[in-house]
Amino acid sequence: MLHTLQSPKDLSQLSLSELESLAQEIREFLIEKVSRTGGHLGPNLGVVELTLAMHRVFDSPEDPIVFDTGHQSYIHKILTGRVEGFDQLRQGGGLAGYPSREESVHDVVENSHASTSLSWADGISRGFSLTGQSERCVVAVIGDGALTGGMAWEALNNIAVAKNQRLVIVLNDNERSYSPTIGGIAHSLAKLRSKDSEHQGIFSTLGIAYLGPINGHDLGKLEETLKEAKALTHPVVVHVVTEKGRGHKPALDDDAERFHAVGIVDSLTGKSISPSAKTWTSVFGKELALLGQERQDIVAITAAMQGPTGLNEFQKLFPERTIDVGIAEQHAVTSAAGLSFAGLHPVVALYSTFLNRAYDQLLLDVALHKAGVTFVLDRAGITGDDGASHNGVWDMALTGIVPNLRIAVPRDERRLKELLRQAICIEDAPTVVRFPKGALAHQIEAIRNLDGFDILCEREKRSVLILAVGPFAAMALEIAETLTNIPITVVDPLWVKPLSAQLLAYCASFSMLVVIEDGIEHGGIATTISEELRANHSSIQIISCGVPLKFLDHAKRSTILEENNLSAEAIGSIYAGRDATPFSWKRFPHTDSLTPARSR
């Protein structure tokens, strides 16, 4: 039955028993396919019946369906004619792991950051009302975890007084985001789930119509309630209780995350097939736990991602010093400023991309007040599989213009431990320690340390200097070892902000400087060095090898690096006299520096 579906309209011909059979078939399909490719398995197993019912009741794309975060949209993709693409889920050129307008007119919002769906839906429904399209209904699907984000409540504050807007908010309540939902929202929803007659409910208190709670796996009841909601001419919340990981015992046995996101696993046992390697995240987590034993003032903060950011070990040892704020990065950062004021040293562990959500708080609550807060940014640089909005390529450019802030980029395990310890010792300014996704780079020892930066490879003649930021040190050494006829020196700055006067003077003593960095070129490390050296009238030629200023499609990290000429072969071709297609070179405006021009 599954492979015959080309459009949501095909569902209208199915009986209730056929729909239930289809739901089971979809679960089996998802377990098989996602186990092979990796992806968000647990969240999708929980919304099979809900997605079927939504597509039976609403007329997508005429009635847009907005998925908050979008990781739970796999069934939506299946029902809108993309079932054949699941063998290439999250692979280069294959199906995206999140909604994609390029894939289908049924997909609306591609941003995979949480708590935005209600604002999107409010805007779309207001737009329909203002343009005479009042017959069109807008559906926003948001999880209880995403309701812990402040932006959702900003939207609800406006939606509560909306008139003549056909907006259905489907609250997918599985008591979890990555991990169990925390805080007052969780307690209030628990009372609603228990049908406490004395509990009016947060939505009714705001003045928003409320239907539920209903069993999110009862197709008949789902359709009945969604039809009732669709008939209304004002906003309504439909409270649907679902089970994350439903129908897959390994997922249900995973108490911590319910298979929120899996790598390549055995479809029957759920156990990883790929050999486990030591990761940046695990090294950080162990070192922070050691630091917590040494210093009673260290406090760890997570935004609903305790496990993925490596804080489990710290939490086991120091539960009272581990704070999960929910999906609330803005609150996390300003709260950290307050903790610092109270005499503690907060360590805020986030994925790099999620720091974007709290930039104002970083700038004006932390940096302005010279707060000793350490930000540990996991998944920094190109992450790949999860697409444009999960890449962590903006943090160095954004934090680079924050006064007082300092940035460390370790190249290997030893440097991660050392730089983390150095960062936590800084009490009068914010610090950032960033590292990429996945397995650790191999250990690279320095020939010598010169005034705070490491020299990894040194030639007698000062001709070409490669400044390798963090894990790109291995690539830089590969280039130097391959091009033996060219005197190439390689340095690792360790701290990329501020850049020391000694490092800048060392750079200026070479004829050419190549900067390799895992962040956007515009406003990156090469740009900063160029400005500093230009101010000192240096004539050195600077070549910037970084991430182009564009949104990157999903693919493996290695593939994206190659496509954007961030490989040893492509960068080495600069010196070997060979053009690495599609490389050509253009000058930075008003400088003597060069940056690669890439085909867009």
8 Å CB contact between 377 and 503? no
Kindly state whether residue 160 falls inside one of the protein's structural domains.
Answer: yes
What number of other Cβ atoms are within 10 A of residue 376's Cβ? 29
Rounded to an integer, what distance in angstroms lies between the CA atom of residue 474 and that of residue 456? 10
Q: What is the mean pLDDT of residues 46-75?
A: 97
Q: Is the pLDDT of residue 208 over 80?
A: yes
Please tell me whether residues 90 and 21 are part of one structural domain.
yes
pLDDT 10s digits, 486-522: 999 999 999 999 999 999 999 999 999 999 999 999 9
Q: Is the pLDDT of residue 326 over 50?
A: yes
Q: Is the pLDDT of residue 549 over 60?
A: yes
Of the candidate ranges 55-64, 111-120, 271-280, 474-483, the one whose mean pLDDT is the lowest: 271-280
Please tell me whether residues 398 and 467 are part of one structural domain.
no
Please tell me whether residues 151 and 18 are part of one structural domain.
yes
* Contacts for 229 with CB less than 8 Å, ≥ 6 apart: 168, 211, 236, 238
Please tell me whether residues 309 and 193 are part of one structural domain.
no
Kindly state whether residue 259 falls inside one of the protein's structural domains.
Answer: no
Q: Is the pLDDT of residue 15 over 50?
A: yes
Q: What is the mean pLDDT of residues 528-532?
A: 95
Q: What is the mean pLDDT of residues 425-429?
A: 98
Q: Which position has the token pair 């307050």?
A: 338
Q: Which position has the token pair 């960062």?
A: 423
pLDDT band for 74, please (50, 70, 90 cuts).
very high
Q: Is the pLDDT of residue 446 over 60?
A: yes
Q: What are the residues facing 463 on neighbouring strands?
A: none
pLDDT 10s digits, 448-461: 999 999 999 999 89
pLDDT number for residue 577: 54
pLDDT 10s digits, 361-380: 999 999 999 999 999 999 99
8 Å CB contact between 257 and 244? no
Kindly state whether residue 524 falls inside one of the protein's structural domains.
Answer: yes
Q: Is the pLDDT of residue 360 over 80?
A: yes
Q: Is the pLDDT of residue 590 over 90?
A: no
Q: How many domains does the chain have?
A: 3
Q: Is the pLDDT of residue 99 over 70?
A: yes
Please tell me whether residues 217 and 323 are part of one structural domain.
no
Q: Is the pLDDT of residue 237 over 90?
A: yes
Kindly state whether residue 137 falls inside one of the protein's structural domains.
Answer: yes
Please tell me whether residues 407 and 457 are part of one structural domain.
no
Please tell me whether residues 183 and 318 are part of one structural domain.
no
Q: What is the mean pLDDT of residues 575-600?
A: 40
Please tell me whether residues 393 and 353 are part of one structural domain.
yes
Please tell me the pTM assigned to this model: 0.93
Rounded to an integer, what distance in angstroms lies between the CA atom of residue 106 and that of residue 120? 15
Q: Is the pLDDT of residue 336 over 80?
A: yes
Q: Is the pLDDT of residue 436 over 80?
A: yes
pLDDT number for residue 178: 77
Q: Is the pLDDT of residue 598 over 60?
A: no
pLDDT number for residue 4: 85
**How many secondary structure helices (H) and strands (E) does the chain include?**
22, 20
Rounded to an integer, what distance in angstroms lies between the CA atom of residue 118 and that of residue 543? 44
The three-state secondary structure class of 502 is helix
pLDDT band for 576, please (50, 70, 90 cuts).
low
Kindly state whether residue 117 falls inside one of the protein's structural domains.
Answer: yes
Q: Is the pLDDT of residue 82 over 50?
A: yes
Domain CATH code at residue 589 = 3.40.50.920
Q: What is the mean pLDDT of residues 404-427?
A: 98
Kindly state whether residue 479 falls inside one of the protein's structural domains.
Answer: yes
Rounded to an integer, what distance in angstroms lies between the CA atom of residue 575 and that of residue 511? 13
Catalytic residues: 244, 329, 357
pLDDT: which is higher, 586 or 291:
291
Q: Which amino acid is at 576?
A: A
Q: What is the mean pLDDT of residues 84-109?
A: 95
Q: What are the residues facing 374 on neighbouring strands?
A: 347, 431
Rounded to an integer, what distance in angstroms lies between the CA atom of residue 569 and that of residue 401? 32
pLDDT number for residue 493: 98
pLDDT number for residue 587: 36
Burial-class residue 203 by CB neighbours within 10 Å (0-12, 13-18, 19+): buried
pLDDT number for residue 413: 97
pLDDT 10s digits, 394-414: 999 999 999 999 999 999 999
Q: Taking each helix axis as running N to C, give the angle between helix 16-37 and helix 219-230, from 0 to 180 degrees, rounded to the nearest 10.
A: 100
Rounded to an integer, what distance in angstroms lies between the CA atom of residue 555 and that of residue 90? 7
Report the chain's mean pLDDT, rounded to a whole number. Answer: 92
Q: Which domain holds residue 541?
A: 453-597
pLDDT number for residue 574: 74
Of the candidate ranges 8-22, 190-204, 394-408, 469-483, the one whose mean pLDDT is the lowest: 190-204
Q: How far is CA 59 from the centre of its chain?
A: 31
pLDDT number for residue 358: 97
Please tell me whether residues 136 and 209 are part of one structural domain.
yes
Rounded to an integer, what distance in angstroms lies between the CA atom of residue 3 and that of residue 472? 44
Cα angle: 35, vertex 53, 77; to 5 degrees? 40
The three-state secondary structure class of 512 is strand
Please tell me whether residues 559 and 588 are part of one structural domain.
yes
pLDDT band for 529, please (50, 70, 90 cuts).
very high
Domain CATH code at residue 96 = 3.40.50.970
